[in-house]
Amino acid sequence: MIAEGSERATLLVSCPDRRGIVAALAQVLYGHGANIFDSVQHTDPLAAQFFQRLHFDLTDLQTDRATLERAISEVAERFGMRYELRFQRQARRVALFVSRYDHCLYDLLLRHRSGELCCELPLIISNHPELEPVARQFGVEFKVVPVSTDAKSAAETAELELLAERGIELVVLARYMQILSADFIGKFPGKIINIHHSFLPAFVGGKPYHQAYQRGVKLIGATAHYVSAVLDEGPIIEQDVVRCSHRDAIEDLVRKGRDLEKVVLARAVRLHLEERLLIFGNKTVVFE
């Protein structure tokens, strides 16, 4: 799990709160020669749960990474921590799922190419062939896995095989218009990000812009969330809104919403890739 030669690393931890956690983590990093650049901590007072993100430099590491990781895992065991340690060079491998809308796809591909998203992007899966030329422009493999109502399970098996073969660690549903099964979701817990085109929990389910139009709201929104077994009810990562009015027809809401969807999804993916997200219950802790 440790790649040699990288210069920075991030440690994300959560555990039941008790005294001494901050000191213990700071001590273990200091003791190995790691220099903490950025750290942020949060204690949920109701749940008595501790969360911390530590971002540190390894240039002057006095031991090797394996030794550092072993020391961290000992602290983690002592405090009953869940933790994730990631060295900067271990770029995550991400797959995009799309259907026919291209705006989020283009947006993520362009951000990736400009260096905004620190990940590898080796695979796009779609239930339709239309966006293949976009993938080709960016040199990304594009696999069509059609999804029919009566053969959904077979489609998911094919998708899971592709994800496994390509070593995918994060799945981004970039306006993918199929509902994943609980089984599929269970194989990527906290590793599937979806963009929903409303400010959840308003307008759950299908055609949220039509629902928003009917209700006459003065703001429309978009919500990026982790996918959980209950549709549109997973932990929310990021949300934003834009003003609308009686002059906006449904197609105007759709157009305005596209800009929101792109930005909100990209922010969520970036937060995940920079190890800034922790899931606790059905909520997220976001260390911006």
Alpha helices in the chain (DSSP H): 21-31, 65-79, 103-113, 132-137, 152-165, 182-187, 208-215, 250-273
Take residue 181 and report the two structure tokens written for it.
Answer: 């099964």
The CA angle 257-260-263, to the nearest 5 degrees, is 150
- Cα-Cα-Cα-Cα dihedral of 186, 190, 195, 199, to 10°? 110
Q: Measured from the CB of residue 196, what is the shortest distance to its own copies in angstroms?
A: 12
232 catalytic residue (yes or no):
yes
CB nearer to its own copies: give 50 or 176. 50
CB nearer to its own copies: give 102 or 169. 102
Q: Measured from the CB of residue 158, what is the shortest distance to its own copies in angstroms?
A: 30
The active-site residue out of 232, 248, 252, 259 is 232
Q: Measured from the CB of residue 274, what is the shortest distance to its own copies in angstroms?
A: 12
Q: In whole angstroms, give the CA distance from residue 2 to residue 192.
A: 24
CB nearer to its own copies: give 166 or 267. 267
CB 192 within 8 A of CB 171: yes
- The closest of 3, 118, 5, 1 to 59, measured between CA atoms, is 5
CB nearer to its own copies: give 91 or 241. 241
Q: Measured from the CB of residue 246, what is the shortest distance to its own copies in angstroms?
A: 4
Q: Which residues bind its own copies (CB under 8 A)?
A: 17-20, 22-23, 25-27, 29-31, 33, 35-46, 60, 102-103, 106, 110, 114, 116, 137, 199-203, 215-219, 221, 235-241, 245-247, 249, 255, 258-259, 263, 282-286, 288
Active centre residues (catalytic): 232
